[in-house]
Structure 1
């Protein structure tokens, strides 16, 4: 039951901490404690709603503990940011990585305590179980793929963006063009990782090279003319590929 419950916690964390948290809300969390409280309520609502689908009082209790731990960690992060004197891109990146690492570590510990206490993960609605039985799959398998796809999209984009922020070459281009290119790049990266995960799931590892080749062709002209951009592009591509492989191996 450890893996099933941990999967539920990670899925809820991705939805609550990334998909329901805009850049504006993330900035508000750093500036005002009310932002931390609002985010904590949204995060708690997601996890508790997910736990209600499972027929277990223990699941609701341990999920409540996970919500409280998330709020405490975010509160400590807020206090730390308020008291640091120098706020650079490097500091922001380190805070993000440490913050997410602590969050995931707390979920690992809570899932371990849940499994050690003999908690059971059972769907409360028989119709859901019957449906998955009808299509000859399991809720755990579907839930696994939902979690993988959630991670390789927005959370992976945020993580890679934090790492690459300090290496991005300066550009004297129109701001609107930069914004449009940034959004397109994020969707390209997400599609790249999704395709890679699908190819790995069917054992077509050699075909992953075609994805990277197609991506490189689109940027070929600039890669050959701008050495700073080529290094930035290569680092981003390697990070994206590593993220896709790492998520697939860890969750699969």
Structure 2
């Protein structure tokens, strides 16, 4: 059940930190305390919600602990952002440090729960449903986590890392189309990986490149930006797939 609990916790973290955190909250939480509190309150409710199927008071207490540490980490990040002016590279490092600390917090809690031999089990009614419909909770949760990862978190990560490389040309295409193309690209690569059709991944990347061939050939800056985005996006899929599956 340790793997199932891990997937539950990471589902909660991804939902709260990427899907339930609006742009308004994300842009203002480092400058206004009320937005930071709102984000952390939503984070707490989400973490509680994802452990309810495994209901126990110990898990609720650990969910509260994770939310408190999340608040401390985000508060430190907000303090540093107010106190210092960061370069583009430092902003990227700060983003990855922030997410790494959140992940380490969850892993620490998982280790503590496993070492304390806390009883982890689905409620009786949910267990009966799992048996009736022959559901594999690990497989189902694994797919949920990786799909959530490859949509919003991956898009934000790619944008955070590559934003300062963006040549900002006059012809940038349809607004947000690039992000949507990136999502479909990652989902297709995921399906190819799952089906062990590694050669087919090349066709996916080739099809993406055809649409921008002229611009890639004529503008070296855009070509480098495009290549970096494609490689990072593909790397996120491959790493996520091998960690989760």
SS at match of 2:232: helix
Q: CA separation of 1:120/1:192 partners in 2, compared to 1, >3 Å: closer, same or farther?
A: farther
SS at match of 2:100: helix
Q: CA separation of 1:153/1:57 partners in 2, compared to 1, >3 Å: closer, same or farther?
A: same
* Residue of structure 2 equivalent to 1:230: 223
Deviations 1:92-145 (A, max 9, x none): 22221111111111111111111111123322252x434443443312211110
In 1, distance between residues paired with 2:157 and 2:46? Answer: 22
In 2, distance between residues paired with 1:130 and 1:208? Answer: 40
State which drifts further: 48-57 or 213-222. 48-57
Asked if the contact 1:33/1:78 (under 8 Å) is kept, the reply is no
Asked if the contact 1:196/1:208 (under 8 Å) is kept, the reply is yes
In 2, distance between residues paired with 1:247 and 1:220? Answer: 29
Gaps of 5+ in 2: none
* Residue of structure 2 equivalent to 1:9: 9
Q: CA separation of 1:195/1:133 partners in 2, compared to 1, >3 Å: closer, same or farther?
A: farther
* Residue of structure 1 equivalent to 2:42: 42
Q: How does 1:67-78 map to 2 (within 5 A)?
A: 67-78=67-78
In 2, distance between residues paired with 1:172 and 1:235? Answer: 20
* Residue of structure 1 equivalent to 2:152: 154
* Residue of structure 2 equivalent to 1:198: 191
In 2, distance between residues paired with 1:145 and 1:228? Answer: 36
Deviation at 1:172, TM superposition (A): 3.3
Asked if the contact 1:4/1:121 (under 8 Å) is kept, the reply is no
* Residue of structure 2 equivalent to 1:106: 105
In 2, distance between residues paired with 1:192 and 1:170? Answer: 22
In 2, distance between residues paired with 1:233 and 1:116? Answer: 46
Deviation at 1:89, TM superposition (A): 2.7
Q: CA separation of 1:205/1:135 partners in 2, compared to 1, >3 Å: closer, same or farther?
A: farther
Deviation at 1:33, TM superposition (A): 1.2
Q: CA RMSD in A?
A: 1.6
**How many residue pairs end up in the alignment?**
245
What's the TM-score, normalizing by structure 1?
Answer: 0.91
SS at match of 1:207: helix
Deviation at 1:13, TM superposition (A): 0.5
In 2, distance between residues paired with 1:88 and 1:170? Answer: 19
Gaps of 5+ in 1: none
In 2, distance between residues paired with 1:61 and 1:96? Answer: 27
SS at match of 2:107: helix
Deviation at 1:23, TM superposition (A): 2.1
Q: How does 1:167-178 map to 2 (within 5 A)?
A: 167-173=165-171
What's the TM-score, normalizing by structure 2?
Answer: 0.94
SS at match of 1:203: coil
Asked if the contact 1:17/1:43 (under 8 Å) is kept, the reply is yes
Deviation at 1:237, TM superposition (A): 0.4
